[in-house]
């Protein structure tokens, strides 16, 4: 009986703590889709095709408000623009992948898969890069799909006092804190967080808060890094 690559299993194991945050986030996405009038099958298909939590919720909200399709698609594109930065950053590690592996990797790319994989590649140059990435990303995909299906089936049966809306921020905090290893990273994270809140409060349209905060955070980190200094 064939055995799974050890790096694949490492990826699944490293992603396991994040599954606890992804699952309730997926439940919320499934519930939101049904609440906005999508059928269970549409909600499940939507989650499988798009596979992007933040943009899924934004699109569902706009579809529920009968927004034009161009606005719905445009909003999803804007919310996911950060994937361009992730792709550019991780591309050198994927240079030797076959075209099919690159296509699968691009579909499965998420914030969590990117963060864990980049950290692993930096620590261990002998890692089977695709096996590890696929272990992280595919396990997240499976959890997300099952959670979305459960949310769609449960519909409005989930009590709001359970506070599932906090699942996504907690997942991102779990990824962020270990990465704050030096002043540049700390400055980038702090600046990005402050700017994100400020942009949301200012009411900037088209969900641009993520992109604006990311760009300003990166610039702040680069500025601090130019002066050097570990924590």
145 with 189, same domain: the answer is: no
Query: pLDDT (tens digit, 9 = 90+) per residue, 97-152?
Result: 999 999 999 999 998 899 999 999 988 888 899 999 999 999 999 999 999 998 88
16 with 85, same domain: the answer is: yes
Select the more confidently predicted residue: 96 or 62.
96
191 with 95, same domain: the answer is: no
Distance CA 52, CA 31 (A): 15
Residue 95: C-alpha distances to residues 2, 6, 126, 132, 191 (Å)? 27, 22, 15, 15, 32
46 with 136, same domain: the answer is: yes
Q: What rounded mean pLDDT belongs to the chain?
A: 81
137 located within any domain: yes
125 with 69, same domain: the answer is: yes
156 with 222, same domain: the answer is: no
The total number of structural domains in the chain stands at 2
169 located within any domain: no
Q: What 8-state DSSP symbol labels residue 160?
A: G
78 with 144, same domain: the answer is: yes
Distance CA 157, CA 109 (A): 31
Q: How many CA atoms lie within 13 A of 5 on its CB side?
A: 13
Q: What 8-state DSSP symbol labels residue 51?
A: -
Residue 230: is its pLDDT beyond 60?
no
Closest CA to 33 of 57, 67, 68, 65: 57
Over residues 189-195, mean pLDDT: 86
User: In which domain, by residue range, is 108 found?
Assistant: 6-164
105 with 150, same domain: the answer is: yes
132 with 185, same domain: the answer is: no
158 with 201, same domain: the answer is: no
Token pair belonging to 129: 């890069």
172 located within any domain: no
68 located within any domain: yes
Q: Which H or E run contains 116? A: helix 111-123
26 with 61, same domain: the answer is: yes
Over residues 170-192, mean pLDDT: 72
């Amino acid at each position: 009986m064939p055995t799974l690559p050890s790096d694949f299993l490492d990826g699944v194991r490293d992603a396991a703590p994040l599954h606890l945050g992804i699952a309730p986030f997926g439940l919320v996405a499934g519930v939101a889709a049904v609440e906005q009038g999508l059928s269970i099958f549409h909600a499940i298909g939507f989650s499988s095709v798009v596979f992007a939590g933040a943009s899924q919720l934004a699109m569902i909200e706009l579809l529920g408000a009968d927004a034009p399709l161009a606005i719905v698609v445009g909003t999803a594109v804007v919310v996911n623009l950060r994937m361009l930065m992730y792709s550019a950053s991780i591309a050198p590690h994927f240079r030797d992948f076959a075209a099919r592996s690159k296509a699968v990797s691009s579909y499965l790319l998420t914030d969590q898969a990117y963060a864990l994989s980049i950290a692993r590649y930096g620590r261990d140059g002998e890692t089977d890069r695709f096996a590890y990435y696929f272990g992280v990303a595919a396990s997240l995909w499976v959890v997300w799909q099952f959670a979305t299906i459960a949310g769609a089936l449960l519909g409005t049966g989930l009590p709001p006092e359970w506070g599932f809306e906090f699942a996504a921020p907690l997942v991102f905090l779990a990824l962020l804190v270990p990465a704050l290893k030096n002043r540049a990273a700390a400055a980038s994270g702090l600046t990005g967080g402050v700017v994100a809140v400020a942009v949301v409060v200012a009411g900037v349209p088209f969900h641009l808060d993520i992109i604006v905060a990311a760009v300003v955070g990166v610039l702040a980190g680069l500025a601090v890094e130019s002066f050097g200094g570990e924590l």
